[in-house]
Amino acid sequence: MAQERVGQVDCTGLPEFCSEAFASLGRADQRNAAETYVRGLLHCDGRKTIPRLAVASPGRSEQSLQQFINQSPWEHGPVRKWLAERMVRDFRPEAWVVGELAFPKHGRYSAAVERQYVHSHGRVRNCQLAIMVGMQVDGVTVPVNWSLTIPEQWGQDDERRSRAKVPDSELPRPYWQYHVELLDDMALDWGVPEAPILLDARHRPLEWYLAALEMRAQTYLAQVSPNELVQPADASWARGSGRIVNSQGARARARTVADIAAGVGNVTPETLYWRDAGGHTLRSQFLVIPVQVLVGSGRPAGSKALLANRLLIVEWPLGKPSPRGYWLTNIRGASLRELVRLAKQVSTATPQAAELASGYGLFDYEGRTFNGWHHHATMVSAALDYDILNGAHLGRDEFEESPAPELTELVR
What's the confidence (pLDDT) of residue 395?
Answer: 55
Higher pLDDT, 208 or 179: 179
Check: CB of residue 155 under 8 Å from CB of residue 171.
yes
Report DSSP letters for 287-317, one per residue.
Answer: EEEEEEEE--TTPPTTPPP-EEEEEEEEEEE
Could you report the per-residue pLDDT of 240-279, keeping only the tens digit for each?
223 334 434 434 467 899 998 888 777 788 999 877 666 7
Give the amino acid at 119.
Answer: H
What's the confidence (pLDDT) of residue 58?
Answer: 80
Question: HSE (CB half, 13 Å, CA atoms) of 405?
Answer: 13
Q: Checking DSSP bridges between strand 123-137 and strand 140-148, what pairing results, if any?
A: antiparallel
Check: CB of residue 140 under 8 Å from CB of residue 86.
no
Could you report the per-residue pLDDT of 112-170, keeping only the tens digit for each?
999 999 988 889 999 999 999 999 998 899 999 999 999 999 999 999 999 999 999 99
What's the confidence (pLDDT) of residue 305?
Answer: 55
What is the radius of gyration, based on Cα positions, of the chain? Answer: 23
Could you report the per-residue pLDDT of 199-219, keeping only the tens digit for each?
999 988 887 888 888 888 899
